[in-house]
Amino acid sequence: MNFPKLVSFLLILHLLNPTVVLSSSSPTSSNRVSEIPKKFLGFAKRKELFDWMVGIRRKIHENPELGYQEFETSKLIRQELDIMGIPYKYPVSVTGVVGFVGSGKPPFVAIRADMDALAMQEMVEWEHKSKNPGKMHACGHDAHVTMVLGAAKILKEHVEELKGTVVLVFQPAEEGGGGAKKVLDAGVLENVDAIFGLHVIAEGPIGVVRSKSGPLMAGSGRFNAVIRGKGGHAAYPQNTTDPILAASNVVISLQHLVSREADPLDSQVVTVAKFQGGVALNCQLKRRIQEVIKGQAAVYRCNATVDFYENENQTIAYPPTINNKDLHEHFQKVAGDMLGADKVIDMKPVMASEDFAFYQEVIPGYFFMLGMQDVTKPRLKSVHSPYFMLNEDVLPYGAALHASLAASYLLAAELNLHEM
């Protein structure tokens, strides 16, 4: 999950590719689909599989790697897929791995895990603390990789039930690097009909999922402005063109873009996160940011340049995450069958961004949040904190949800085809 520090916005309009309508009028076929989630969760909670997932997750956690540097993580994934006898493509977008479980034939449905860590020093003292100084899995991507590997084990064990192919996407560089876009550009998902992704959150109880149809998370972009003036002695301000004064007024004026120029019903945030002296953004907002910065600098006889990082791989602007309506209904059905309808909660949109949105621009996609707080234990720290800790009891839930969403999608698609 990416928390843009400078500009975030939600767009309500979005064009979605058509997808399979996942419904069936036959009680028998409906029962077949409904049986999968409980069965897969029971399988995921077996001690042997749970212990294996914990071990995998801890290995990844001890060896965090930044975007497009996930070579050891990728190696571990490939070793486990080899043991399972699951074929894969590698390398995909430098370090990515894309595996295939099932018939090898259409339809194709994908489940995605992001692999990268954050440039952050871990402050949690425990046996499996990061061994790489200044790098930490502070966003749960180690768990996401483990969950998709766990799903792969479940699916491989039940491969005869797969009415098509599940594509396992192990993606690099979610944290600002736009790895999802590069995976798409590699062409490995061209035949995929739908894609699912999840994110662990500390804010929800374990076994509770949150999501919604339509806009779920913000798009994001970044800018860097340099204001140049003429320095001098503080006692003789008349001999200077003070860039600090100009920059201070720029910060204030930028806030007016949201409070006075944006529609109150259109969620936007402009934040100046770093102030130092001496993207596919909303097009109008992008233009006005540039005008305000240059205009305010000119008032104080300074000049300014604004860089939106349009040509830098590590600062790719992210589109908004918008969930497909039909996949939302599928998710509610599968998660409800597994966890209970009361554990499937509609959430409000959030202003963080997620590069899963790139998939949704070309493939019907669905993204959801998976709670991991044990209410009997101390409150977990939120993601992107050096004190972030994962409740490993969440691993079977994520693995089973991934596997169930994919397998049920394939089965429902086949049943609908036969009943047409």
Binding residues for Mn(2+): 139, 141, 175, 199, 384
Using an 8 Å Cβ cutoff, are 352 and 2 in contact?
A: yes
196 vs 410: CA distance, rounded Å: 13
Using an 8 Å Cβ cutoff, are 365 and 183 in contact?
A: no
Amino acid at 254: L
Half-sphere exposure of 146 (CA within 13 A, CB side): 29
222 vs 199: CA distance, rounded Å: 23
- Start-to-end CA span in the chain (Å): 40
* Bind-site residues: 139, 141, 175, 199, 384
Residue 96: strand, helix, or coil: strand
Amino acid at 179: G
- Cα dihedral 129→130→131→132 (10° resolution): -160
Identify the DSSP state of 300. T
Which H/E stretch holds residue 33? helix 27-44
Burial code (b: 16+ CB inside 10 Å, e: under 16) for 399-414 equals bbbbbbbbbbbbbbbb
304 vs 295: CA distance, rounded Å: 9
Scan for tokens 């396992």, then name that residue.
168
